[in-house]
Amino acid sequence: MSEATPAPSTGRSVLITGGNRGIGLAIAKAFLANGDKVAVTYRSESELPDGVLGVQADVTDQASVDAAFTAVEAAHGPVEVLVANAGITKDTLLMRMSEDDFTSVIDTNLTGAFRVIKRASKGMIRLRKGRVVLISSVSGLYGAPGQVNYSASKAGMVGIARSLTRELGSRGITANVVAPGFITTDMTAELPAETQKQYLASVPAARFGSADEVAKVVRWISSDEAGYISGAVIPVDGGLGMGH
Ligand SMILES: NC(=O)c1ccc[n+]([C@@H]2O[C@H](COP(=O)([O-])OP(=O)(O)OC[C@H]3O[C@@H](n4cnc5c(N)ncnc54)[C@H](OP(=O)(O)O)[C@@H]3O)[C@@H](O)[C@H]2O)c1
């Protein structure tokens, strides 16, 4: 095999939280195309592509996370690639943001990631290999008005990835953050047309991204080719947040 030939990294047990729609579903399809064994968590009943194992889980509930992992491990073996993707927004200006608006977004996006990563790490330590990918956002490091809660949750993911890298890096485990910009999904479709227009004007690429463009980066950062990258923040944002 020549040095430039990509080493295949197929047949791994991959779990994506919130993989029933949007970016998570695109990530599931990308790993499936790679020949991996793919499982996704969902809350609401949804149609999944053939070959994807769906397990019900709410990332705000540790017992439901544990049950989902047990089901995935029974079907596919210990999770070797974990993508913490499940996330919500509750946008509003700080003056109107209730404590519940803040804590519920942190509980889902950040503590939810902590719950699944902690559970997955046990198997990865035993395997002496693993890939953790946290789906953050350009808002995490760039900031966005109306997103004090969301930005805090997404910035916190960088701290998780970097501390995890220092704790578990010597066990063959990497932890990286992928920070999408404005990607066309249900989440962004909810934004008022005027806000969408303003975002578009600020994106150097002059277009929104697709879930597929995020998925391919997640797949690559989880591949053998990216085995020496850990604690990185990889933007997929058309240049919106560069330097942040
Ligand atoms: N779209 C963008 O422009 C963009 C930009 C930057 C970052 N992101 C991030 O990318 C990730 C996916 O976003 P998306 O645009 O694909 O969003 P989406 O279409 O709204 O999908 C969100 C996913 O998260 C799941 N989820 C929400 N709360 C959950 C909980 N408590 N437990 C388990 N699953 C839960 C949802 O499950 P249900 O179907 O059951 O609700 C759904 O599968 C999020 O973390 C988001 O913050 C998105």
Using CA positions, which residue lies closest to atom 4 of ligand 1? 183
150 catalytically annotated: yes
Amino acid at 27: I
Domains in the chain: ranges and CATH: 13-236 (3.40.50.720)
Q: By C-alpha distance, which of 78, 87, 123 is closest to 107?
A: 87
Q: Ligand 1 centroid vs 32 CA: distance in angstroms?
A: 20
Ligand 1 binding site (Cβ under 6 Å of any ligand atom): 17-18, 20-24, 41-44, 57-60, 85-88, 108, 135, 137, 180, 182-183, 185-188
Per-residue pLDDT tens over the stretch 120-139: 999 999 999 999 999 999 99
pLDDT band at 2 (very low <50, low <70, confident <90, very high): very low
Spatial separation of the C-alpha atoms in residues 51 and 1, rounded to whole Å = 30
Asked whether the predicted pLDDT for residue 107 surpasses 70, the reply is yes
pLDDT band at 7 (very low <50, low <70, confident <90, very high): very low
User: What's residue 9's pLDDT?
Assistant: 53
Q: Ligand 1 centroid vs 87 CA: distance in angstroms?
A: 4
Per-residue pLDDT tens over the stretch 209-224: 999 999 999 999 999 9
Q: Ligand 1 centroid vs 196 CA: distance in angstroms?
A: 18
- 153 CB contacts (<8 Å, ≥6 apart)? 87, 105, 106, 108, 109, 110, 140
User: What's residue 244's pLDDT?
Assistant: 80
